[in-house]
Amino acid sequence: MQPTGTQNYIELAITISPALFEPYIAILSQEGIEYFLEEDDRLLAYLPESEWNEAKEQAVRSLLEETFGSVPPCKASFMADRNWNAEWEAHLQPIEISDRFLIVQKYKEVTPKPGQIVIEINPKMSFGTGYHATTRLMLRQMEELELEKRKIMDIGTGTGVLAIAARKLGNRLPILAFDNNAWAAENAEENARENQAADIRIELIDAEEELVANLREGYDLILANINKNVIDRILPVIRNYAPQAEVLLSGVLIYDEPWLKKLLKRLGYSNVKTIYEDEWLSSLVQAETEAKH
Ligand SMILES: C[S@@+](CC[C@H](N)C(=O)[O-])C[C@H]1O[C@@H](n2cnc3c(N)ncnc32)[C@H](O)[C@@H]1O
Protein backbone atom coordinates (compact mmCIF):
# COMPACT_ATOMS: atom_id res chain seq x y z
CA MET A 1 0.00 0.00 0.00
CA GLN A 2 1.34 3.43 -0.88
CA PRO A 3 -0.83 6.01 0.90
CA THR A 4 -0.34 9.56 -0.22
CA GLY A 5 -0.89 10.87 3.31
CA THR A 6 -2.31 14.17 2.09
CA GLN A 7 -5.57 15.22 0.61
CA ASN A 8 -7.26 18.56 0.12
CA TYR A 9 -10.96 18.83 0.69
CA ILE A 10 -13.91 20.97 -0.29
CA GLU A 11 -16.11 21.99 2.60
CA LEU A 12 -19.79 22.61 1.89
CA ALA A 13 -21.21 24.70 4.72
CA ILE A 14 -24.99 24.30 4.63
CA THR A 15 -27.08 26.55 6.86
CA ILE A 16 -30.07 24.55 8.08
CA SER A 17 -31.83 23.69 11.32
CA PRO A 18 -30.21 20.84 13.30
CA ALA A 19 -33.49 18.93 12.94
CA LEU A 20 -32.63 18.60 9.26
CA PHE A 21 -29.05 17.36 9.71
CA GLU A 22 -29.93 13.66 9.51
CA PRO A 23 -32.09 13.89 6.35
CA TYR A 24 -29.45 16.09 4.68
CA ILE A 25 -26.68 13.64 5.59
CA ALA A 26 -28.79 10.83 4.20
CA ILE A 27 -29.40 12.65 0.92
CA LEU A 28 -25.84 13.94 0.47
CA SER A 29 -24.51 10.43 1.08
CA GLN A 30 -26.29 9.43 -2.11
CA GLU A 31 -23.89 11.74 -3.94
CA GLY A 32 -20.97 9.89 -2.34
CA ILE A 33 -20.29 12.56 0.31
CA GLU A 34 -19.29 10.66 3.43
CA TYR A 35 -17.73 13.08 5.91
CA PHE A 36 -19.79 15.44 8.03
CA LEU A 37 -19.46 17.73 11.03
CA GLU A 38 -22.42 19.21 12.85
CA GLU A 39 -22.38 22.77 14.19
CA ASP A 40 -25.18 24.79 15.80
CA ASP A 41 -26.92 25.84 12.62
CA ARG A 42 -24.58 24.55 9.94
CA LEU A 43 -23.96 21.14 8.54
CA LEU A 44 -20.42 20.85 7.19
CA ALA A 45 -20.02 18.25 4.46
CA TYR A 46 -16.61 17.32 3.05
CA LEU A 47 -15.45 15.67 -0.10
CA PRO A 48 -12.04 15.31 -1.73
CA GLU A 49 -11.14 18.29 -3.89
CA SER A 50 -10.54 15.91 -6.80
CA GLU A 51 -14.25 14.94 -6.74
CA TRP A 52 -15.60 18.50 -6.80
CA ASN A 53 -16.44 20.16 -10.11
CA GLU A 54 -19.32 21.99 -11.72
CA ALA A 55 -21.19 18.82 -12.60
CA LYS A 56 -20.93 17.59 -9.01
CA GLU A 57 -22.15 20.93 -7.67
CA GLN A 58 -25.10 20.80 -10.04
CA ALA A 59 -25.89 17.21 -9.06
CA VAL A 60 -25.84 18.13 -5.36
CA ARG A 61 -28.05 21.18 -5.91
CA SER A 62 -30.56 19.23 -8.01
CA LEU A 63 -30.75 16.45 -5.45
CA LEU A 64 -31.38 18.90 -2.61
CA GLU A 65 -33.97 20.76 -4.64
CA GLU A 66 -35.77 17.57 -5.68
CA THR A 67 -35.83 16.28 -2.11
CA PHE A 68 -36.45 19.40 -0.05
CA GLY A 69 -38.04 21.74 -2.59
CA SER A 70 -35.26 24.34 -2.38
CA VAL A 71 -31.52 24.69 -1.81
CA PRO A 72 -30.56 26.28 1.53
CA PRO A 73 -27.65 28.75 1.84
CA CYS A 74 -24.62 26.68 0.94
CA LYS A 75 -21.01 27.82 0.63
CA ALA A 76 -18.18 25.76 -0.84
CA SER A 77 -14.63 26.45 0.33
CA PHE A 78 -11.26 24.86 -0.18
CA MET A 79 -9.73 23.18 2.87
CA ALA A 80 -6.01 22.52 2.72
CA ASP A 81 -4.84 19.25 4.16
CA ARG A 82 -2.96 20.90 7.00
CA ASN A 83 -6.09 22.40 8.57
CA TRP A 84 -7.64 19.07 9.12
CA ASN A 85 -6.68 17.49 12.37
CA ALA A 86 -7.30 20.47 14.64
CA GLU A 87 -10.60 21.21 12.92
CA TRP A 88 -11.80 17.67 13.33
CA GLU A 89 -10.53 17.02 16.83
CA ALA A 90 -12.27 20.08 18.22
CA HIS A 91 -15.59 18.44 17.43
CA LEU A 92 -15.05 14.98 18.76
CA GLN A 93 -16.39 13.69 22.04
CA PRO A 94 -16.46 10.09 23.26
CA ILE A 95 -19.37 8.16 21.82
CA GLU A 96 -21.17 5.42 23.64
CA ILE A 97 -22.24 2.94 20.97
CA SER A 98 -23.74 0.45 23.43
CA ASP A 99 -23.00 -1.07 26.85
CA ARG A 100 -20.30 -2.99 25.00
CA PHE A 101 -18.52 -0.27 22.99
CA LEU A 102 -17.17 3.20 23.64
CA ILE A 103 -15.34 5.09 20.90
CA VAL A 104 -12.92 7.71 22.13
CA GLN A 105 -10.55 10.01 20.44
CA LYS A 106 -6.86 9.57 21.19
CA TYR A 107 -5.73 11.28 24.41
CA LYS A 108 -9.28 11.88 25.65
CA GLU A 109 -9.85 10.77 29.25
CA VAL A 110 -12.80 8.39 29.63
CA THR A 111 -14.15 6.02 32.22
CA PRO A 112 -15.75 3.05 30.49
CA LYS A 113 -18.51 1.05 32.14
CA PRO A 114 -17.44 -2.32 33.55
CA GLY A 115 -16.84 -4.69 30.64
CA GLN A 116 -17.08 -1.94 28.04
CA ILE A 117 -14.61 -2.16 25.17
CA VAL A 118 -12.82 1.08 24.36
CA ILE A 119 -11.81 1.74 20.75
CA GLU A 120 -9.41 4.62 20.34
CA ILE A 121 -9.86 6.40 17.05
CA ASN A 122 -7.79 9.25 15.71
CA PRO A 123 -10.08 9.98 12.81
CA LYS A 124 -8.29 12.39 10.47
CA MET A 125 -10.81 12.55 7.62
CA SER A 126 -11.93 8.94 7.54
CA PHE A 127 -15.51 7.98 8.09
CA GLY A 128 -15.92 5.74 11.15
CA THR A 129 -15.82 7.96 14.20
CA GLY A 130 -19.02 6.54 15.65
CA TYR A 131 -20.67 9.81 14.75
CA HIS A 132 -22.66 8.15 12.04
CA ALA A 133 -25.62 5.85 12.64
CA THR A 134 -24.34 3.28 10.14
CA THR A 135 -21.12 2.72 12.12
CA ARG A 136 -23.11 2.35 15.31
CA LEU A 137 -25.49 -0.13 13.67
CA MET A 138 -22.61 -2.25 12.36
CA LEU A 139 -20.97 -2.35 15.82
CA ARG A 140 -24.25 -3.27 17.51
CA GLN A 141 -24.78 -6.13 15.05
CA MET A 142 -21.19 -7.31 15.50
CA GLU A 143 -21.41 -7.49 19.27
CA GLU A 144 -24.20 -10.07 18.92
CA LEU A 145 -22.08 -12.36 16.72
CA GLU A 146 -19.68 -15.13 17.62
CA LEU A 147 -16.58 -13.68 15.97
CA GLU A 148 -13.70 -15.64 17.40
CA LYS A 149 -13.22 -18.03 14.50
CA ARG A 150 -14.43 -15.94 11.58
CA LYS A 151 -12.16 -14.92 8.74
CA ILE A 152 -13.25 -11.34 8.18
CA MET A 153 -13.12 -8.94 5.23
CA ASP A 154 -13.98 -5.30 6.00
CA ILE A 155 -14.90 -3.47 2.80
CA GLY A 156 -14.69 0.34 3.03
CA THR A 157 -12.91 0.27 6.37
CA GLY A 158 -12.69 4.08 6.88
CA THR A 159 -10.93 4.55 10.23
CA GLY A 160 -10.67 0.77 10.59
CA VAL A 161 -13.18 0.89 13.43
CA LEU A 162 -15.07 -2.30 12.52
CA ALA A 163 -11.99 -4.42 11.96
CA ILE A 164 -10.53 -3.18 15.26
CA ALA A 165 -13.84 -3.92 16.99
CA ALA A 166 -13.77 -7.47 15.63
CA ARG A 167 -10.34 -8.02 17.18
CA LYS A 168 -11.51 -6.53 20.47
CA LEU A 169 -14.51 -8.88 20.42
CA GLY A 170 -12.11 -11.82 20.39
CA ASN A 171 -11.52 -12.50 16.70
CA ARG A 172 -8.16 -14.12 16.11
CA LEU A 173 -8.19 -15.15 12.43
CA PRO A 174 -6.85 -13.06 9.51
CA ILE A 175 -8.72 -9.82 8.81
CA LEU A 176 -8.40 -7.96 5.53
CA ALA A 177 -9.65 -4.36 5.82
CA PHE A 178 -9.53 -2.08 2.81
CA ASP A 179 -10.66 1.23 1.44
CA ASN A 180 -10.33 2.94 -1.92
CA ASN A 181 -9.36 6.20 -0.20
CA ALA A 182 -5.62 6.40 0.54
CA TRP A 183 -6.20 8.74 3.43
CA ALA A 184 -8.59 6.27 5.05
CA ALA A 185 -6.30 3.29 4.51
CA GLU A 186 -3.43 5.14 6.11
CA ASN A 187 -5.59 6.26 9.02
CA ALA A 188 -6.95 2.71 9.54
CA GLU A 189 -3.37 1.45 9.79
CA GLU A 190 -2.54 4.01 12.48
CA ASN A 191 -5.69 3.24 14.44
CA ALA A 192 -5.08 -0.52 14.24
CA ARG A 193 -1.61 0.02 15.69
CA GLU A 194 -2.91 2.26 18.47
CA ASN A 195 -5.49 -0.38 19.41
CA GLN A 196 -2.99 -3.24 19.56
CA ALA A 197 -4.44 -4.69 16.39
CA ALA A 198 -1.52 -4.12 14.05
CA ASP A 199 -1.94 -7.62 12.60
CA ILE A 200 -5.06 -6.49 10.69
CA ARG A 201 -4.06 -6.39 7.03
CA ILE A 202 -4.99 -2.98 5.68
CA GLU A 203 -4.86 -2.28 1.97
CA LEU A 204 -5.71 0.40 -0.54
CA ILE A 205 -8.17 -1.46 -2.74
CA ASP A 206 -11.21 -0.49 -4.77
CA ALA A 207 -13.95 -3.05 -4.11
CA GLU A 208 -15.31 -2.55 -7.59
CA GLU A 209 -12.01 -3.43 -9.21
CA GLU A 210 -10.19 -6.02 -7.13
CA LEU A 211 -12.80 -7.90 -5.15
CA VAL A 212 -12.70 -11.30 -6.82
CA ALA A 213 -9.02 -12.08 -6.19
CA ASN A 214 -9.43 -11.13 -2.55
CA LEU A 215 -12.66 -13.08 -2.06
CA ARG A 216 -10.84 -16.19 -3.23
CA GLU A 217 -8.87 -16.07 0.03
CA GLY A 218 -11.97 -17.56 1.68
CA TYR A 219 -13.59 -15.05 4.02
CA ASP A 220 -16.65 -16.17 5.96
CA LEU A 221 -17.81 -12.82 7.35
CA ILE A 222 -17.85 -9.76 5.12
CA LEU A 223 -18.50 -6.32 6.60
CA ALA A 224 -19.66 -3.72 4.11
CA ASN A 225 -20.79 -0.36 5.43
CA ILE A 226 -20.68 1.47 2.10
CA ASN A 227 -23.64 2.81 0.15
CA LYS A 228 -26.50 1.61 -1.99
CA ASN A 229 -24.76 1.96 -5.33
CA VAL A 230 -21.60 0.14 -4.34
CA ILE A 231 -23.57 -2.59 -2.55
CA ASP A 232 -25.69 -3.05 -5.66
CA ARG A 233 -22.56 -3.74 -7.68
CA ILE A 234 -20.50 -5.78 -5.24
CA LEU A 235 -23.08 -8.01 -3.55
CA PRO A 236 -23.57 -10.17 -6.70
CA VAL A 237 -19.79 -10.63 -6.84
CA ILE A 238 -19.68 -11.65 -3.17
CA ARG A 239 -22.56 -14.08 -3.71
CA ASN A 240 -20.67 -15.67 -6.59
CA TYR A 241 -17.19 -15.86 -5.16
CA ALA A 242 -17.88 -16.23 -1.42
CA PRO A 243 -21.25 -17.98 -1.37
CA GLN A 244 -20.66 -19.34 2.13
CA ALA A 245 -19.94 -15.95 3.68
CA GLU A 246 -22.33 -14.06 5.90
CA VAL A 247 -22.52 -10.41 4.88
CA LEU A 248 -23.16 -7.58 7.32
CA LEU A 249 -24.37 -4.55 5.37
CA SER A 250 -25.04 -0.93 6.16
CA GLY A 251 -25.00 2.42 4.42
CA VAL A 252 -28.55 1.75 3.23
CA LEU A 253 -31.38 4.18 3.94
CA ILE A 254 -34.68 2.87 5.33
CA TYR A 255 -36.38 4.19 2.17
CA ASP A 256 -34.21 1.77 0.18
CA GLU A 257 -35.23 -1.29 2.18
CA PRO A 258 -37.60 -2.50 -0.62
CA TRP A 259 -34.68 -2.27 -3.08
CA LEU A 260 -32.45 -4.22 -0.68
CA LYS A 261 -35.07 -6.92 -0.15
CA LYS A 262 -35.43 -7.34 -3.90
CA LEU A 263 -31.66 -7.57 -4.39
CA LEU A 264 -31.33 -10.14 -1.60
CA LYS A 265 -34.14 -12.23 -3.06
CA ARG A 266 -32.63 -12.11 -6.55
CA LEU A 267 -29.25 -13.23 -5.22
CA GLY A 268 -30.68 -15.94 -2.95
CA TYR A 269 -29.79 -14.33 0.36
CA SER A 270 -31.97 -14.58 3.44
CA ASN A 271 -32.13 -11.84 6.02
CA VAL A 272 -30.84 -12.95 9.42
CA LYS A 273 -31.34 -9.68 11.27
CA THR A 274 -32.04 -6.06 10.36
CA ILE A 275 -31.71 -3.20 12.84
CA TYR A 276 -32.43 0.50 12.41
CA GLU A 277 -31.29 3.88 13.69
CA ASP A 278 -32.51 7.24 12.42
CA GLU A 279 -32.95 6.78 8.68
CA TRP A 280 -30.44 3.99 8.31
CA LEU A 281 -30.52 0.22 8.48
CA SER A 282 -28.05 -2.61 8.82
CA SER A 283 -28.80 -6.15 7.64
CA LEU A 284 -26.98 -9.38 8.35
CA VAL A 285 -27.60 -11.76 5.46
CA GLN A 286 -26.59 -15.27 4.48
CA ALA A 287 -27.06 -17.44 1.42
CA GLU A 288 -30.39 -19.26 1.47
CA THR A 289 -28.82 -22.67 1.02
CA GLU A 290 -26.71 -21.98 4.13
CA ALA A 291 -29.64 -20.57 6.09
CA LYS A 292 -30.16 -22.14 9.48
CA HIS A 293 -33.81 -21.18 9.71
C1 LIG B 1 -19.76 4.68 5.19
S2 LIG B 1 -18.01 4.64 5.28
C3 LIG B 1 -17.77 3.29 6.45
C4 LIG B 1 -16.51 3.35 7.27
C5 LIG B 1 -16.39 2.32 8.39
N6 LIG B 1 -16.36 0.98 7.85
C7 LIG B 1 -17.55 2.44 9.37
O8 LIG B 1 -18.36 1.53 9.46
O9 LIG B 1 -17.65 3.48 10.03
C10 LIG B 1 -17.66 3.93 3.70
C11 LIG B 1 -16.20 3.78 3.38
O12 LIG B 1 -16.14 3.05 2.17
C13 LIG B 1 -15.14 3.57 1.35
N14 LIG B 1 -15.48 3.18 -0.04
C15 LIG B 1 -16.44 3.71 -0.83
N16 LIG B 1 -16.46 3.08 -2.03
C17 LIG B 1 -15.49 2.12 -1.98
C18 LIG B 1 -15.00 1.16 -2.89
N19 LIG B 1 -15.52 1.06 -4.14
N20 LIG B 1 -13.99 0.35 -2.52
C21 LIG B 1 -13.45 0.44 -1.28
N22 LIG B 1 -13.87 1.35 -0.36
C23 LIG B 1 -14.87 2.18 -0.69
C24 LIG B 1 -15.15 5.07 1.64
O25 LIG B 1 -13.92 5.66 1.31
C26 LIG B 1 -15.46 5.10 3.13
O27 LIG B 1 -14.28 5.12 3.91
- Tell which one of 153, 181, 228, 280 to mutate to probe ligand 1, the residue whose CB is within 8 A of the most ligand atoms: 181
Confidence (pLDDT) at 37: 80
* Nearest-angstrom CA–CA distance, 134 and 156: 12
> How remote is the CA of residue 122 from the centroid of ligand 1, in Å?
17
pLDDT for 265 equals 97
pLDDT (tens digit per residue) in 111-122: 899 999 999 887
pLDDT digits (tens, 9 = 90+) for 169-178: 999 999 999 9
Which segments are annotated as binding site for S-adenosyl-L-methionine? 135, 156, 179, 225
Is the model more confident about 39 or about 267? 267
Mutate to test the pocket of ligand 1, among 1, 4, 31, 34 (most ligand atoms within 8 A of CB): 34
Q: How far apart are CA 265 and CA 243, in angstroms?
A: 14
The pLDDT of residue 81 is: 63
Q: Hey, what domains does the chain have and what are their CATH numbers?
A: 9-88 (3.30.70.270), 128-290 (3.40.50.150)
184-240 pLDDT, tens digit each? 899 899 999 999 999 999 999 999 999 999 999 999 999 999 989 999 999 999 999
Q: Return d(Cα 162, Cα 220) in angstroms, integer.
A: 15
Closest Cα partner for 160 from 190, 205, 117?
190
137 CA distance to ligand 1 middle (Å): 15
Q: Which pLDDT value is given to residue 32?
A: 81
Per-residue pLDDT band at 257 (split at 50, 70, 90) = very high
What local confidence, expressed as pLDDT, does residue 84 receive? 58
- Which residue has the CA at smallest separation from atom 25 of ligand 1? 181
Q: Say if residue 290's pLDDT is above 70.
A: no
Residue 87 clears pLDDT 80, i.e. is over it: no
Least confident of 59-73, 76-90, 157-171: 76-90
Using the predicted structure, report yes or no on whether residue 19 has a pLDDT greater than 60. yes
Checking if the pLDDT of 162 tops 90, the result is yes
Residue 138: pLDDT above 80? yes
Identify the band that residue 29 occupies on the pLDDT scale cut at 50, 70 and 90: confident
Average pLDDT value for the chain: 88
Cα atoms in the Cβ-side hemisphere of radius 13 Å centred on 166? 28
Residue nearest to atom 7 of ligand 1 (CA): 128
Please give the number of the atom of ligand 1 that sits closest to the Cα of 184: 27
Q: Which segments within the chain are labelled E, that is strand?
A: 9-15, 35-38, 42-48, 74-79, 95-96, 101-105, 117-121, 152-155, 175-179, 201-204, 221-225, 246-253, 269-277, 280-287
pLDDT at 146: 96
Confidence at residue 133, expressed as pLDDT on a 0 to 100 scale: 87
For the cut 90, the answer to whether the pLDDT of residue 274 exceeds it is: yes
pLDDT at 4: 42
Give the distance (Å) from ligand 1 centre to CA of residue 80: 22
CA dist list (Å): 239 to 194, 231, 266: 34, 12, 11
Nearest CA to ligand 1 atom 23: 156
Position 5 scores a pLDDT of: 45
Residue of 1, 92, 226 with the most ligand 1 atoms within 8 Å of its CB, for mutation: 226
This complex has an ipTM of: 0.99
Q: Atom 1 in ligand 1: which residue has the minimum CA distance?
A: 226
123 lines ligand 1 (CB under 6 A): no
Residue 29 alpha carbon to ligand 1 centre in Å: 11
